[in-house]
Structure 1
Amino acid sequence: MNRQSILIIEDDEHINKIIYDVLRRENFLCTQAYSGSEGKMNVIGHVYDLILLDLMLPGLSGETFIRELRTELNCDTPVIVLSAKEKLDNKLTLFRLGADDYVTKPFEVEELLARMNVQLKRKAKVESISLYRHKQLTLNSDTLSVTINHAQLKVTRKEYKIIELLIKNPTRVFTKQDLYHLAWDELFLGEDKTITVHISNIRHKIRAHTEEAYIETVWGIGFRLSP
């Protein structure tokens, strides 16, 4: 079972370390950030299952971080805010910005873990229906969209279908005949460069966002997702 990845954005080193140590003992993969700007850079380069966010941060405030996370980065990762601000108006503002939950400081780690569990279960339920992931590549079968590192790829209908076939069958090697038949719903007649051109176009669009390989050529056979 894959370990769930948590981003901790908290400028107080003591609190950050306490949360980090607790979550590591609970078998989470944890990344620590100490400013809103650092947290944003982490989100740009990695997909997390959950973000724990302080509000009073240097550089980029927690409120600005949430706003940019939901708009500029188009990222729907659940966010639990950790703050000493207790006023209802503050909480309502954060929920409107896109926060998913709110834990008031000081808090018990048991409460934090319980609230995290709720958000992670909710996220897993949604993803089991519509989201497929491989490394930083995500395909949403509800919106028929493909993103990598939260950036949406502008793919054609045939390119989307090829990616869908590969990501839903991560260990299968597809021949050109397989892809042509399944993506075009037509019979493959001999040598045709159509599939090769579409694979090349997909790779080019992915390389605009990362140097990591996502589609592997199995020489003499076909194509599959890169491990």
Structure 2
Amino acid sequence: MEDEMKQPRILIVEDDEHINNIIYTLLQKENFLCTQAYSGSEGKMNVARQTYDLIILDLMLPGLSGEAFMGELRTNLKCDTPVIVLSAKEKLDHKLNLFDLGADDYVTKPFEVEELLARINVHIKRSAKSKLITLYKHKNLVLDCNTMSVTIHNSELNLTRQEYKIIELLLKSPTRVFTKQDLYELAWDDVYIGEDKTITVHISNIRNKIRQFDEENYIDTVWGIGFRLNK
């Protein structure tokens, strides 16, 4: 049981049984614990009931597509498990769209198993390092990186993905003043194209959600610069 707990868990979501079995056999030999799923819906059910260290995801899936699965994973399930996408589509704009959805890596079919294994090991090691610290706390606000949840006085805040990312950035760098450009580019993973009200509105929404449970100020406005965690 102790050895099993140390083995990384990987979910394989691939409808092609032959490819799924090839990946499964490869990873079993490398001492990974693997779960096989053959549709996006089956993959989603597995994620809902089990924590994984990595997900290998095909795009052309029956029912819930790979793209739709990514949306469910990052928004409704609030799961930050690394995802390696497998796809025969090679166009740059398609790859960029997947990264926007929250994918961490992309392997083009047909692929060499050695390359896939190397990428898997990189993400497993990176994820293990990031999970050494999983809880960040400021006053009564607690962020859990494993569950991607934020609670205050033991009540979970209902946050959008960007609101969560903003709080995560502030709590992980409590002394840093973030400009609007910093927050936009880090939370949206996009290029900031100039002054707008997007960040201001999101900060206001976060403050309102916190205020439902705690009247104390948690985010300071640094006029002319940006925002930081209240000291």
Given the two structures, how large is their TM-score scaled by the length of structure 2?
0.60
Equivalent residue for 1:141? 136
Equivalent residue for 1:16? 20
Matched, 1:116 2:111: no
- Distance between the aligned counterparts of 1:59 and 1:80, measured in 2? 20
Matched, 1:6 2:10: yes
Equivalent residue for 1:90? 94
Matched, 1:74 2:71: no
- Distance between the aligned counterparts of 1:5 and 1:155, measured in 2? 30
- Distance between the aligned counterparts of 1:154 and 1:127, measured in 2? 18
Equivalent residue for 2:69? 65
Equivalent residue for 2:184? none
What's the secondary structure of 2:36's corresponding residue?
A: strand
The answer on whether the counterparts of 2:142 and 2:150 sit within 8 Å (CA) in structure 1 is: no
Q: Post-superposition shift, 1:147?
A: 8.4
Specify which of 135, 153, 156 is matched with residue 153 of structure 2.
Answer: 156
- Distance between the aligned counterparts of 2:66 and 2:108, measured in 1? 14
Moved over 2 A (4+): 140-143, 145-148, 150-157
What's the secondary structure of 1:82's corresponding residue?
A: strand
2:142 aligned partner, one-letter code: L
- Distance between the aligned counterparts of 1:45 and 1:11, measured in 2? 20
Q: Post-superposition shift, 1:153?
A: 8.1
Q: RMSD across aligned C-alpha pairs, in angstroms?
A: 2.2
Specify which of 35, 38, 43 is matched with residue 31 of structure 1.
Answer: 35
Q: Post-superposition shift, 1:152?
A: 4.5
Unaligned regions of 5+ residues in structure 2, if any? 155-231
Equivalent residue for 1:136? none
Unaligned regions of 5+ residues in structure 1, if any? 132-139, 158-227
Matches within 5 A, 1:183-222: none
1:47 aligned partner, one-letter code: T
1:94 aligned partner, one-letter code: L
- Distance between the aligned counterparts of 2:108 and 2:57, measured in 1? 12
Q: How big is each residue's C-alpha offset from its partner over 1:63-112, in whole Å with a ceiling of 9 and x where there is no partner?
A: 01011100111000000000101111110000000000000000011100
What's the secondary structure of 1:141's corresponding residue?
A: strand
Equivalent residue for 1:104? 108
Q: How big is each residue's C-alpha offset from its partner over 1:48-76, in whole Å with a ceiling of 9 and x where there is no partner?
A: 00000000000100001011100111000
Task: Call closer, same or farther: CA 1:65–1:29 in 2, change over 3 Å.
Answer: same
2:14 aligned partner, one-letter code: E
